[in-house]
């Protein structure tokens, strides 16, 4: 009885945007809250700073992701337009070019030409997009999806330390927000690694380490400015 492998490469686009958004939401908001709290700011001011950071960060993530992925999409569309024009002008050259690609991958010359001819008869532009340019439907750029995914996951991530800061009294805020944020980051890293088929432990440690470093540095800055003020 045969078996089918579970591949995860099709998840790369949305998984990267989702993990990046949630990670940034937790790290930036928790760091902001801790930094402001370290400067001996009132509880209301800390919550206001955290809420402002959530809104600004979510919009920044959405805009940045949209612009970035749109640029990728523009490049892909330009390449496809160039390839389409080339197919219209010299289809035999393009057929030979595709056959040579298959030869380099291990097919015999005659078979490579047959494969190129049959694939181009079915979908010439699709065959060249996939095998010559490296564009496929599963990994093509999707700016709107990436923008919403990043903004949404950033908001969820940022809301976690903000809720903790809202519930916890001022004198316990820094240690409690730090601990809970690191737990959130470890869970996020583990879930992302599991979804991508990587080591859960390595994923959790990697995300938690950088989050802890960001919080420590921000707390130090807040402490310094708090003393100066």
Given pLDDT bands bounded at 50, 70 and 90, which one contains residue 138?
Answer: low
Task: Tell me the backbone φ, ψ of residue 199, rounded to 5 degrees.
Answer: -70, 125
Output the pLDDT for position 140.
Answer: 58
* pLDDT interval class at 5 (50, 70, 90): very low
Lowest mean pLDDT among 16-20, 88-92, 168-172, 190-194: 16-20
How far, in Å, CA of 145 to CA of 5, rounded? 27
DSSP string for the chain: --------GGGHHHHHHHHHHHHHHHHHHHHHHHHHHHTT--HHHHHHHHHHHHHHHHHHHHHHHHHHHHHHHHHHHHHHHHHHHHHHH-HHHHHHHHHHHHHHTT--HHHHHHHHHHHHHHHHHHHHIIIII---TTTS--HHHHHHHHHHHHHHHHHHHHHHHHHS-GGGHHHHHHHHHHHHHHHHHHHHHHHHTS-HHHHHHHHHHHHHHHHHHHHHHHHHHHHH-
- The structure tokens 């903000």 sit at 162
- Express each pLDDT in 50-77 by its tens digit: 999 999 999 998 898 888 888 877 887 7
Asked if residues 170 and 43 have their Cβ atoms less than 8 Å apart, the reply is yes
pLDDT at position 11 is 47
* Separation between Cα atoms, residue 198 and residue 210, nearest integer Å: 18
Report pLDDT for 143. Answer: 80
User: Scanning the structure block, which residue is given the tokens 């976690």?
Assistant: 160
CA–CA gap between residue 82 and residue 98 (Å, rounded): 15
- 160 has pLDDT over 50: yes
- Confidence band, pLDDT 50/70/90 cuts, at residue 3: very low
Q: Tell me the C-alpha distance between 117 and 122, whole Å.
A: 9
Residue 175 is predicted with a pLDDT of 92
pLDDT score for 137: 59
| pLDDT given for residue 52 in this prediction | 94
Q: Rounded distance, CA 99 to CA 107, Å? A: 9
pLDDT band at 7 (very low <50, low <70, confident <90, very high): very low
Higher pLDDT, 129 or 180: 180
pLDDT bin (cut points 50, 70, 90) of residue 220 is confident
What pTM value is reported for the model?
Answer: 0.70
């Amino acid at each position: 009885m045969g078996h089918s492998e579970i591949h995860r490469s099709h998840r790369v686009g949305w998984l990267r945007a989702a993990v990046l958004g949630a990670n940034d939401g937790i790290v930036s908001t928790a760091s902001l809250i801790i930094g402001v709290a370290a400067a001996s700011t009132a509880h209301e001011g800390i919550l206001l700073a955290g809420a402002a950071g959530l809104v600004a960060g979510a919009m920044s993530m959405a805009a940045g992701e949209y612009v970035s992925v749109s640029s990728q999409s523009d490049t892909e569309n330009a390449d496809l337009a160039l390839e389409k024009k080339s197919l219209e002008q010299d289809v035999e050259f393009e057929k030979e070019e595709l056959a040579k690609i298959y030869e380099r991958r291990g097919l015999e010359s005659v078979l490579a030409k047959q494969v190129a001819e049959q694939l181009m008869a079915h979908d010439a532009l699709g065959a060249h997009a996939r095998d010559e340019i490296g564009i496929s439907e599963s990994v093509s750029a999707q700016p709107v999806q990436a923008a919403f995914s990043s903004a949404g996951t950033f908001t969820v991530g940022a809301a976690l330390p903000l809720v903790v800061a809202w519930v916890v009294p001022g004198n316990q805020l820094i240690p409690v927000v730090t601990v809970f944020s690191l737990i959130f980051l470890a869970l996020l890293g583990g879930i992302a690694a599991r979804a991508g088929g990587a080591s859960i432990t390595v994923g959790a440690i990697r995300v938690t380490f950088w989050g802890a470093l960001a919080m420590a540095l921000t707390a130090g800055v807040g402490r310094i400015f708090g003393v100066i003020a």
